[in-house]
Structure 1
Amino acid sequence: MNATEWAEDQQRRAELDDLMAQVADQEAQMEHHLITTHNDYAVQINSEPTSDADLSRRVPPPYRPATRRISRGC
């Protein structure tokens, strides 16, 4: 491997590392959002009366994605 190829390889590895860091950040944000949503929902469920009539009227909270998706260039 000559110096040019080695430099290109290092550049590709750095780009891959950046992409992997972005994916990890997005996964962490999604996990945080899921945990927060679950906890909020659990608090809501536990604070409401639980008669059969109330259970039939309960509506789950709307889905809100934590972040925008990255275009994969398909």
Structure 2
Amino acid sequence: MNATEWAEYQQRRAEVDDLTAVVADEEAQMERDLIAAHDEYELGFSQESQPGVTPAGRTPPPHRSPASSRGRNRGR
């Protein structure tokens, strides 16, 4: 390998190292985002399981009375 080929090899190797670092940074950011989303989900889920606590922005589902469910099954 002559000096020109060696210089080209080193240049390509530096480019690969830079790209590898960029990919590693992006993967680390995705992992942090995923962990944050999971933590937020768990926090919302744990708040929903406590009686009388509704997370902000969510409305509790409507409760059906036993009479309304009996009316649907009459024709069967």
Short-chain TM bin: 0.5 to 0.7
Match of 1:18 in 2: 18
Name the CA distance, whole Å, in 2 between partners of 1:30 and 1:47: 26
Aligned-partner Cα distance in 2 for 1:31–1:20: 16
* Amino acid corresponding to residue 35 of structure 2 in structure 1: I
CA distance in structure 1 between the partners assigned to 2:17 and 2:49 by the alignment: 50
Larger radius of gyration: 2
User: TM-score by structure 1 length?
Assistant: 0.66
SS at match of 1:17: helix
What's the Cα RMSD here? 1.7
* Alpha-carbon offset, residue 49 of structure 1: 3.9
Aligned-partner residue type, residue 21 of structure 1: A
TM-score by length of 2: 0.64
Shift of 1:50: 6.8
Once residues 25 and 49 of structure 1 are traced to their aligned partners in structure 2, the CA distance between those partners, rounded to angstroms, is 36
CA apart distance, 1:30? 0.3
Aligned residue pairs: how many?
Answer: 53
Percent identity (aligned): 58
Runs of 5+ consecutive residues of structure 1 not aligned to the other structure? 58-74
